[in-house]
Amino acid sequence: MKIEIKEISHPVFNLKDVRLFIKRIDKLHPFVSGNKFFKLKYNLLECERKGHHTLLTFGGAYSNHIAASAFIAKSKGLKSIGIIRGEECLPLNHTLRFALKNGMKLHYVSRSNYKKKNTANFLESLKIKFGDFYLIPEGGTNEFAIQGSEEIIEPIDYQDYICCPVGTGGTIAGIINISNSKQIVIGFPAIKGFEQLQRDINSWTNSTNYKLINDYVGGGYAKINNELVEFINKFNATHNISLDAIYNGKMFMGIMDLIGKDYFPKGSSILAIHTGGLQANQGMTERLGVSLPLE
């Protein structure tokens, strides 16, 4: 797959003698997060291999994974079911409208029941309700997702550092697996719970050439502040690249800050993976009244 890589410039990069390249997997689709295509690829093959015609997965009302699963299931001629955390809230937000439009059946479960989603009893009740399905866990992370994420990085990606936003850690685990041992992979978590994340990632990769930097998670998942909103809008005005506020905004704020603090040795090159996720900016804008790039 040919994916655009764009080098961006900034006076600070010259001063610090670093180069920053952005791998635009966000451009794979205007709405569906780029990394979700990679995470779903081998899951779809496995679903087909097992002869299932329905894909079932889980997520919150703003989930990029729900939007992506609905879209990709439809494009492959599969039915899809989304088990959504919490009550139905009308009018539906952008994410859920998109999921419905792509044929996903939405099934809401209370937050307390949602917590039981991995138990045998809960899964059995879903089987009784919906019949046979291929199950993809919340966030889409499983061994097949990691296999797909290994294709995000290609042999031409030679840079010294690879930066990637982190949710469940599936995407970065694939990237770590495929990186060469001289590269350093840096993850920017968007969710609190650093130690669990570290354990999860270590269960999916044997390589140790990575680091999670936890200083840019802000108030936590989907929590934003004025500084972040200003950063995203300024980044867009300067580089003409739209960032989502949940993942990539925080990562790029982190990268720029680290460059300013001499984190990267002189002469280094950095490849940042722009994973997309722009669809969530719509919901944020509607809910919080802030101004963020929408496309």
Ligand X SMILES: *Cc1c(COP(=O)(O)O)cnc(C)c1O
Residues that bind ligand X in the complex, under the rule CB under 6 A? 33, 35-36, 64-65, 139, 141, 165-172, 244, 247, 275-277
Helix (H, G, I), strand (E, B) or coil at 241: coil
Considering the complex, state which of residue 25 and residue 290 has its C-beta at the smaller distance from ligand X: 25
Considering the complex, state which of residue 18 and residue 280 has its C-beta at the smaller distance from ligand X: 280
Closest contact distance (angstroms) between CB of 150 and ligand X is 12
Closest contact distance (angstroms) between CB of 121 and ligand X is 26
Beta strands in 43-92, from DSSP E residues, in sequence order: 54-59, 79-85
Contact in structure between 144 and 116 (CB atoms under 8 Å): no
Closest contact distance (angstroms) between CB of 119 and ligand X is 22
Burial (CB count within 10 angstroms: exposed 0-12, middle 13-18, buried 19+), residue 17 = exposed
Residue written as tokens 């997997």? 25
Structure tokens at 159: 């840079």
Considering the complex, state which of residue 18 and residue 176 has its C-beta at the smaller distance from ligand X: 176
Considering the complex, state which of residue 57 and residue 275 has its C-beta at the smaller distance from ligand X: 275
Give CA–CA dist 42/47, Å, rounded: 8
Considering the complex, state which of residue 53 and residue 223 has its C-beta at the smaller distance from ligand X: 223
- Residue positions counted in the chain: 295
Closest contact distance (angstroms) between CB of 77 and ligand X is 24
Contact in structure between 228 and 218 (CB atoms under 8 Å): yes
Closest contact distance (angstroms) between CB of 8 and ligand X is 19
Nearest residue to the partner ligand X, using Cβ: 277
